[in-house]
Structure 1
Amino acid sequence: MSLTTALRDGRALATLAVPLALTQLAQVALTTTDTVMMGLLGTTDLAAGGLAIVIFNQLRTMGVGLITSVGNQVAAAAARAEAAEAPGDQDDRTAEPPRTARTRPSREAAEVRRIVQASLVLATLAGVVGALLMVLIGQGLTWVGQEARVVDRAQSMLLALAPGLLPCLWFQAIRQFTVGMRRPQALLRITLASVAVNAGLNWVLIHGTWGLPELGLTGVGVATSLVHLLSCLALLAAAKRDPVLAPLITWRTRGADRATLRTLTALGVPIAATYGSEAGFFSVTTLMAGSFGSAALAAHTAINQLVYIVFQIAVGLSHAASINVSRELALGHTHAARRLRNTALGCAGAVMTVVALVYLALPDLVLSPFLDAGSADDDAALDIARDLLFVIAVLQFFDCAQNIGVGLLRGLDDTRSGFRITVVGYWFVGLPAAALLGYAAGADTLGIWLGLLIGLATTAVLLLARYRRALGTRERALLPDDPAEVT
């Protein structure tokens, strides 16, 4: 592979990955702000709020998975239309997204509108069902060994978070549409603004300023739900102002095309199950950590938030690689899809190395936003968290690789393999390892995170191996457009 080709692949990946990763980081700043605010209320509120956020994230992640294939379907449709319009200039047009508005072919417009409409239907169904499940799960927390005072506060926060799930998933449906069209620029601006709004609402609702009631921990949930609603409205307004996106987006869910709805559901259910498998894996280990006491749960919550922050970089790379794989395969470029895997993993490895060095060199600084010495509970939680930093310095390499693997397979429209592999890696390997090391070996929370590491490493290896085999099958079925570039 020539240097020119490598640079072109890197530019194509970065064009989507950078704004998406920054958007993901801005989004995680919402929960990071919530976590910091909860930490100011005390260790018990941090433990309860962390438990509620884990449950919310579990259901939200599965809902997002249900509509994630929207971006790939839109990207493939756009690539086919562009190839039909100007077949002699394909490589130049796949290197970067279009920078100026132009009239889309009517066939493409109709197909994209059907996809957007169906995605909003799926988002609505997932939002309603997820909100109900959130409340029901909150009522059953006492059955899984959590402290009574933690459960009471977690239930109140879940009631406040539940209404926000619906606009959160609407936002994600519109987001996938803009990413598939390779016009995600408004996402970053809106998400950055939502961070500031969330921090302000948190402070006002927690402490009851300006004559509002003092809600404490519940105020964090109310603020989060309001921010999801405002973000959804802002992204919809931005799409309506974009001359390329505006003709393609419709808010009407009635009369959605059933064939398109079935296609998105068939692709989305395995993705939702895949995301749910991973989120469920982390949720169960959170419950396991809670069984060791509030200090262990607080330390686990802080470390989990750090992992979640860095994970967003992987999500940006994964989505960008996935969208580009869909485009390249729509054009018959299987060799380019193979190069995209190497480019994404190389970028991920470089970022994770820098993050690991920061964790190991500055542990107290990294943990200071979440935990601080002062009380007996905080001191105990801080000691546990310091040890866990050594584990996640390694864990995040595999966490990033497995997320990229899921995205690459999604680009092949192979969403079922991702689910099967995550079940094996997380539940058949990782969870037994966490239980064995955490309980039987007596390593407590440290053992749980070692089990997480083992599960993620297994999953990453299996996913990337599956992508290599599936792409090889695709290459054998199609004649490569440039045999000299097949590597």
Structure 2
Amino acid sequence: MVTALLRDSRALGALAVPLILTQLAQVALTTTDTVMMGLLGTTELAAGGLAVVVFNQIRTMGVGLGTAVGNQIAAAAARAERADGTASAEEGGHAEVRALVRASLAVATLAGLVGAVLMVLIGQALVLLGQDTSVVGLTQRMLHALAPGLLPCLWFQAIRQFTVGMRRPQALLRITLASVAVNAALNWPLVHGSFGLPRLGLTGVGIATSLVHLLSCIALYLAAKRDGELAPLLALDVHRADTPTVRRLLGLGIPVAATYGSEAGFFSVTALLAGSFGPAALAAHTAVNQLVYIVFQVAIGLSHAASLNVSRELALGNHDGARRIRNTALACAGVVMTVVGAVYLTLPRLVLAPFLDTGSERALGIATHLLVITAFLQFFDCAQNIGVGLLRGLDDTRSGFRITLIGYWAVGLPAAWLFAYTLELETAGIWLGLLTGLAATAVLLLRRYATALATAAPREPKREPAAGTA
């Protein structure tokens, strides 16, 4: 059994490790921003953290709309492997992939435009949500700077799903690493006014981020066009996206977006709750939330890899392989979370140092207590994200949404309110509520996967429109 687990871990890791490294490199962008905001002061960190929460809420839902395309492409590639290798079968697979790429870019364009408008409107409404007035003005200005970057960010994610679905994610890591360096190079002069540039403060952080999203999108597109296998399938003529494929992607993607939005919204609401206890509590919440976000990238990489492998195994008719993927992904996640939790518990000030001003003892004290809760919370956070990915591999995206509604909102949010306000645990109570909601969600998702897999039927090829419309 141990031998099988190690073999399956290596197979999962072949796809998961590049994705995890890419996710970690990508989160370095927001980590750099958070460090820069912390250097500006506690109020700036609180305001910037609130802006990033809003941006991440909308970005995450936009990404969710196109996430299922990776599974569809992975399944199409696996079906082509099972086919007899005739030219007509190969061209049929290429036509399906091109249709999926067009549709995903069309969906990303719409989501980016609508999301940018929503970001600005939410910024205007923050003053009505009980936030400190000294924080709201700064948050609004940063949201205005971040909004233009949403569209290229979602284009990047659409092309990313295409490359990952084709099992060729190598360029992602190189590009994302380069974007970290570019972001750091842009942040300092835009924030502090170096090299003849105006001193923009917190707004400069948002402008740098938007520029990096644009440059990353261009770089990934050019890398895909240089790949002999990917280039013929990367269709940018979005106006030719056919309605059936768009409808299929939206049918799968809307529940994923709602699931991602449900989780991001859960964390967004808790940020608003933390803000009600003052700037120090919100700064502490922002710092710890950033640490959780960093570690969460391991869960995202494992979730995507497990999801794609489940789609592939079912397309090949291998149900036992799909069942083992769950156990392998959870075992790998458990090892990583144990190591990280030990660091949180033994070296709390060291891990918080990059995010909090050492002069803010109140914020540092709150954050130190939150890390104790986080050491346990992250096990459930990782497990529930893997559960969502596993269900997506079964093309069951609706169950994930329904379950997250129950776990986050019917269990987690009332628990957070109870602990924070009724039991007067304040910010620590909010994080105990987060832990409770994530634990409930993880259990329900993994139970649903076991049930759904037992009744899953073998995958049949999707019927696409005629070649002239694809």
Quickly name the TM-score band, shorter chain normalised: over 0.9
Instruction: Give 1:166's aligned residue.
Output: 151
> Following superposition of structure 1 onto structure 2, how do residues 189-200 of structure 1 map, counting pairs within 5 Å?
189-200=174-185
Instruction: Give 1:59's aligned residue.
Output: 58
2:372 equivalent to 1:393: no
Q: Which of 362-371 and 78-87 deviates more?
A: 78-87
Instruction: Give 1:441's aligned residue.
Output: 423
C-alpha offsets along residues 150-207 of structure 1, whole Å, 9 cap, x if unaligned?
Answer: 0000000000000000000000000000000000000000000000100110101001
C-alpha offsets along residues 60-97 of structure 1, whole Å, 9 cap, x if unaligned?
Answer: 0000000000100000000000111469xxxxxxxxxx
2:241 equivalent to 1:256: yes
Instruction: Give 1:105's aligned residue.
Output: 90
For the 8 Å contact 1:38–1:49, the answer to whether it is kept is yes
Instruction: Give 1:362's aligned residue.
Output: 347
> Following superposition of structure 1 onto structure 2, how do residues 17-28 of structure 1 map, counting pairs within 5 Å?
17-28=16-27
1:251 match: secondary structure: coil
For the 8 Å contact 2:83–2:89, the answer to whether it is kept is no
C-alpha offsets along residues 295-338 of structure 1, whole Å, 9 cap, x if unaligned?
Answer: 00000000000000000000000000000000000111111000
User: Partner amino acid for 1:470?
Assistant: A
- Which whole-Å CA distance do the structure 2 matches of 1:203 and 1:109 have between them? 45
> Following superposition of structure 1 onto structure 2, how do residues 267-282 of structure 1 map, counting pairs within 5 Å?
267-282=252-267
2:66 equivalent to 1:81: no
> Following superposition of structure 1 onto structure 2, how do residues 368-407 of structure 1 map, counting pairs within 5 Å?
368-374=353-359, 378-407=360-389
Instruction: Give 1:432's aligned residue.
Output: 414
Which 4+ stretches in 1 moved above 6 angstroms? none
C-alpha offsets along residues 415-437 of structure 1, whole Å, 9 cap, x if unaligned?
Answer: 00000000000000000000010
User: Partner amino acid for 1:306?
Assistant: L
- Which whole-Å CA distance do the structure 2 matches of 1:424 and 1:280 have between them? 13
Shift of 1:109: 0.9
| TM-score, scaled relative to structure 1 | 0.93
For the 8 Å contact 1:113–1:250, the answer to whether it is kept is yes
Shift of 1:9: 2.0
Unmatched tracts of structure 1, length 5 or more: 88-101, 480-487
2:296 equivalent to 1:311: yes
2:126 equivalent to 1:141: yes
443, 452, 457: which one aligns with 2:434: 452
C-alpha offsets along residues 37-73 of structure 1, whole Å, 9 cap, x if unaligned?
Answer: 0000000000000000000000000000000001000
Question: Root-mean-square deviation (CA), in Å?
Answer: 1.5
Instruction: Give 1:177's aligned residue.
Output: 162
C-alpha offsets along residues 397-426 of structure 1, whole Å, 9 cap, x if unaligned?
Answer: 000000000000000000000000000000
- Which whole-Å CA distance do the structure 1 matches of 2:134 and 2:184 have between them? 26
Shift of 1:2: 7.5
Instruction: Give 1:290's aligned residue.
Output: 275
C-alpha offsets along residues 266-299 of structure 1, whole Å, 9 cap, x if unaligned?
Answer: 0000000000000000000000000000000000
User: Partner amino acid for 2:421?
Assistant: Y
Instruction: Give 1:483's aligned residue.
Output: none
| TM-score, scaled relative to structure 2 | 0.96
2:114 equivalent to 1:129: yes
C-alpha offsets along residues 120-149 of structure 1, whole Å, 9 cap, x if unaligned?
Answer: 000000000000000000000000110111
2:268 match: secondary structure: helix
- Which whole-Å CA distance do the structure 1 matches of 2:348 and 2:309 have between them? 37
- Which whole-Å CA distance do the structure 2 matches of 1:195 and 1:209 have between them? 19
For the 8 Å contact 1:116–1:177, the answer to whether it is kept is yes
For the 8 Å contact 2:344–2:351, the answer to whether it is kept is yes
Identity, % of aligned positions? 73
For the 8 Å contact 1:103–1:244, the answer to whether it is kept is no
User: Partner amino acid for 1:421?
Assistant: I
Unmatched tracts of structure 2, length 5 or more: 460-470
2:70 equivalent to 1:71: yes
Instruction: Give 2:5's aligned residue.
Output: 6
